[in-house]
Structure 1
């Protein structure tokens, strides 16, 4: 079978053996798998938070199952990282910090014609059956949407809140959609890309080009001089984080969601956090309560994720998908097999 793997820091599409199953494992034929920014960062050697396995947003069809309740032909989503739910971190409400969380993964990765979901994941709810009204492309959004669900639960959006989302990539736009679903008043989004700013203008209430305007000044103008109640930084760049910190109101909340490159340093007066009582909250990944809620949102059509898919590529054109993503010519690219 064909699989996309990293070898010596380079992407290779190679023929590998279909994974063999052990008790409790499930083999899935991939039908859609979203290309995430973290995949691109892994390819470029810039991502530090996980092992270098590519493809973590897959949906497909069960080909073979050695687990109860899952049968050949079932349409499913599979989660790549699953915690133990028993350790200190899990019991204290930090399951994505579980020492087992990032040790689990799909074999050999989601960008494969077939991949194995280990029994560890399956036994802990890592496979969800897709409802009939959820397409495979929609199913490929379960994992990214779940991370958004978890992040917004942590930062808490109140009814009528002004929300600023810094970064209008697919994750930022999922945040826009979810903030509206969660009761936000007006949602503002900013980005440096003309393409993304224009695309975001169809989804957010206000779309700002941070290369052409001072985001914090525009946000204060749009919020009666106060600033945003909640800021979500859906980019790891230092400039994005600073735009967010300068745009949040006194007593407001800022969610660090995008993963900064290792070694990122901010030129920021930290006393402003204390003097203005700004809460800074980070959120990393998602667990099964989040994937279940994300799938429920998709089933109820509370968010329209398919409008974010601007490109679809067959597996053997994976490198073309990476290229246009790096060039900023896409919102969301989906790989299919």
Structure 2
């Protein structure tokens, strides 16, 4: 359902089976509330998975409660060399097919038949945009209302470590906050939470990536406040201490880092995400699937197509690839 068009009849049997199972409990919160047998801690682990869409479990379809079960059954697969191999391979396929990729050339306006950047103008029969929906509307010359709600942002510390972590530390770990509701509220109010959902992605030398020293990505869910955070910020330091304590590390992570880079909401905002919101504007749960806004295209602008985190099925590499496949298939069909 992440790679098939929401209106494709081929998905109707699967969709019917899901809705038959969910009944009237169509959002993640309501569905999990109906599972009386489920321990509260497990419920919180599953429900916080909705932050992969950038919003709370009250704003996502019940499908998000099913996805962890699918992943735990079928596994999660990573390309040799890491996830970055996916965009690099797509870029290679594009250039070898005759495409030219231009970087560091911000777009200043988009109109029918033309894209204007800070340094050039390009004629275009079709425009495909991966920008945040609101940013694209501004480039089209439209008045844009302030979004009522935004998805989460993040603070990402990419670090080189001075020694390997204990052998029992796996590649991907998730550290839960004690109070998930406080985290959801912090995203809504654009304030720092007391604790956040944190990921520790740990890569031993030469295990997945071609790194010759151990590295770690410390990923902290953050409010879309558009601010800059450094490694010395108290929130970042407190979360690294908490991660170290919860995982029983022999030393605090902050003392093991020899080199690092930090991405933060201000950084992500520079790519066209309002406040650094990773998944754009938040929407009600029912505005998902075939009812997702914005859509891949519109009758008003048949020359303009959208991909990326702003369209169905949302953010994250697998979802964005699925959305790009759906949008591309529709585009090609429109040219027949």
TM range (shorter): under 0.3
Which protein, 1 or 2, shows the higher relative CO under an 8 Å CA cutoff with sep ≥ 6? 2
Query: Please, what TM-score do these two structures have when normalized by structure 1?
Result: 0.25
Richer in helix (by share): 2
Larger radius of gyration: 2
